[in-house]
Amino acid sequence: MSDKDIEAKQDASQAELLSTEKLHELLRKLDMDGPEMTKLEREAEAERSAVHEFWSTQPVPQTADTVSREGEVHAPLAPEQIRTEPYALPSETMEWCVVDVCDAQQMRELYVLLTENYVEDSDAMFRFNYSAEFLNWALMPPGFEPQWHVGVRDSAGQLIAFISGIPMDIMVRDTTMRMADINYLCLHKSLRGKRMAPLLIKEVTRRIHLTGVFQAVYTVGKLLPKPVATCRYFHRSLNPRKLMETGFSQQLSAPELAKVVATMRLPTTPSVPGLRAMRKGDVGQVRKLLNRFLKRRFEIVPVFRTDAEVAHWLMPRTDVVWTYVVEDAGRPGRITDFFSFYSLPSAVLKSESRKGAKKAAPVYRSVNAAYLFYYGTRDDYDISLTPNEREMCGGAKREKALVRARTDELIRKRLLELMADALVLARNAGFDVFNCLDMMDNSMFIRELKFGPGDGYLRYYLFNYMARAIESPKVGFVML
């Protein structure tokens, strides 16, 4: 190679580097490279001096506690130790109720309460918009307990507060327990600041105890005593223009937006051979694949004991959940992989992009967000080391680490193929953004598939169970 050829190659490499750096700068402006990891540090500092009047009385590890022994905080209560009457509400005009999610009218009331009062982002620009179909899916798994769907009504009969639990078998490291998955704590805005949330938690806990369940799992964005795991949100843009125009992402100039649109462009069709929508006959194989994948790779996972559970959570439902399997071409009917995602749109409350704009941007009512749900692939590769590799390892411990690293690399390559197709299918289904947490094996593909870190975190908590901290890649339980 001549000196001129070498110089030309160096120039090309430098140009590619500059192009990459410019792209990362554009992605940062699009909220694809979010704030530095200082938010957690600020919250941890504030937590050290925080006073938690309610949580300090509950069977959870406190902020300063070091967990050295895993296990329940207190033993199961005897029936005579469990309160039989509901807790007193702060006003005689309020009354407890069970929200019958099988009743269309009551489901509509719950939908309205959540739509108008549930989680907003920190800038009050977006709010989760749960559909009635989604709530049916989330609140009515096989064996659900109607009494765990706890509401409060005012004197006019209006539903003004809600909290729910569903039963699940959860494995924390090597211990499997029946737990309550607590979710959808929601108060009408007029009740905020009146200490109703602790009352709802105490009441649903009482009802759960009456059924013989004494542990629970829940997630919260904010820092409380004391999370067992903290995961960060990542976002992959599927419709950059709409995300910018709704204020989900920052404003870009026309050339910058064009560059991002080109960078985020996806193929028109999936590429993995044998990929198809999940069918009823796949349920048994998917359950075995999922349970094995979760148990072998992660430290907090659900245990799906019946095909009915997997059918409920993973069989495709229109506008709720999408699940795709890969059928082995060489062995028809054999499922080798699967992945799933669900729909959780955010209502657009206001849009920064329209403020002072010379030309009115399209008005959107929602951002259609897909969230990665469960997936599974093989992890039982037959990896053999050569005599030379064994000699270089110098012992069984390093040999095992090398086999594990090679297995992880094979899993990474497969997940890249599967999740690339998940993005294509989500885009084709009309989603604007694809979200996930840095849990499970997601870190294997989020960077290469152009996910970027958001500024939101989700913290996992255990009630009446002490567990050592779990790193986010070892979390295998997806909370809706």
Is 455 in a helix, a strand, or coil? Answer: strand
Residue pair 366/345 in contact by the 8 Å Cβ criterion: yes
HEC string for 201-249: HHHHHHHHHHCCCCEEEEEECCCCCCCCEEEEEEEEECCHHHHHHCCCC
Write the burial class of residue 6 (CB in 10 Å: 0-12 exposed, 13-18 middle, 19+ buried). Answer: exposed
What is the rounded distance in angstroms from the CA atom of residue 180 to the CA atom of residue 198?
17
Which DSSP string corresponds to 7-62?
Answer: HHHHHHHHHHHHHHHHHHHHHHHTTSS---TTHHHHHHHHHHT---TTGGGSSS--
Which DSSP string corresponds to 315-370?
Answer: S-BTTTEEEEEEE-SSSTT-EEEEEEEEE--EEE---GGGTT-SSPPPP-SEE-EE
What is the rounded distance in angstroms from the CA atom of residue 148 to the CA atom of residue 456?
28
Q: Phi first, then psi: give them for residue 306, nearest 5 degrees.
A: -130, 155
- For 380-409, what is the mean pLDDT? 90
480 in catalytic set: yes
**Does 201 score more than 90 pLDDT?**
yes
**Does 281 score more than 90 pLDDT?**
yes
What is the rounded distance in angstroms from the CA atom of residue 75 to the CA atom of residue 458?
28
Residue pair 278/425 in contact by the 8 Å Cβ criterion: no
**Does 284 score more than 60 pLDDT?**
yes
pLDDT for the residue numbered 15:
42
What is the rounded distance in angstroms from the CA atom of residue 243 to the CA atom of residue 362?
11
pLDDT for the residue numbered 39:
79
- pTM for this predicted structure: 0.88
What is the rounded distance in angstroms from the CA atom of residue 296 to the CA atom of residue 381?
13
- Give the pLDDT confidence of 56-104 residue by residue, as tens digits: 999 999 988 899 899 999 999 999 999 999 999 999 999 999 999 999 9
pLDDT band for position 24 (cuts 50, 70, 90): low
Nearest to 349 by CA among 123, 80, 167: 123
pLDDT band for position 22 (cuts 50, 70, 90): low
pLDDT band for position 365 (cuts 50, 70, 90): confident
Pick the more confident residue, 471 or 346.
471
- For 311-332, what is the mean pLDDT? 96
**Does 17 score more than 60 pLDDT?**
no
pLDDT for the residue numbered 30:
54
What's the length of the chain?
A: 480
C-alpha angle 239-264-406 in degrees, rounded to nearest 5: 125
Residue pair 452/436 in contact by the 8 Å Cβ criterion: no
Tokens 């639990």, located at residue: 165
CA distances in angstroms from 454 to 12, 93, 138, 167, 370, listed in the order given:
33, 42, 25, 31, 15
Residue 78 token pair: 């005897």
Residue pair 101/139 in contact by the 8 Å Cβ criterion: yes
- For 376-398, what is the mean pLDDT? 90
What is the rounded distance in angstroms from the CA atom of residue 157 to the CA atom of residue 148?
20
Q: Measured in Å, how far apart are the chain's first and last C-alpha atoms?
A: 58
Is 283 in a helix, a strand, or coil? Answer: helix
pLDDT for the residue numbered 141:
98
**Does 48 score more than 80 pLDDT?**
no
**Does 5 score more than 50 pLDDT?**
no
pLDDT for the residue numbered 126:
76
pLDDT for the residue numbered 83:
96
Residue pair 168/313 in contact by the 8 Å Cβ criterion: no
pLDDT for the residue numbered 82:
97
What is the rounded distance in angstroms from the CA atom of residue 422 to the CA atom of residue 451?
13
pLDDT for the residue numbered 6:
38
As a whole-number percent, the residues of the chain with pLDDT over 90 amount to 72
- Give the pLDDT confidence of 209-236 residue by residue, as tens digits: 999 999 999 999 989 999 999 999 999 9
Pick the more confident residue, 32 or 296.
296
**Does 353 score more than 90 pLDDT?**
no
pLDDT for the residue numbered 251:
87
- Give the pLDDT confidence of 255-271 residue by residue, as tens digits: 999 999 999 999 999 99
Highest mean predicted confidence (pLDDT) among 41-50, 347-356, 459-468? 459-468
- Give the pLDDT confidence of 126-148 residue by residue, as tens digits: 778 899 999 999 999 999 999 99
pLDDT band for position 121 (cuts 50, 70, 90): low
pLDDT for the residue numbered 349:
79
Selected catalytic residue, list 289, 314, 437, 480: 480
Residue pair 366/347 in contact by the 8 Å Cβ criterion: yes
pLDDT for the residue numbered 309:
98
Average pLDDT over all residues of the chain: 89
Strands 335-343 and 229-237: unpaired
- For 235-247, what is the mean pLDDT? 93
**Does 123 score more than 80 pLDDT?**
no
Strands 433-437 and 159-172: unpaired
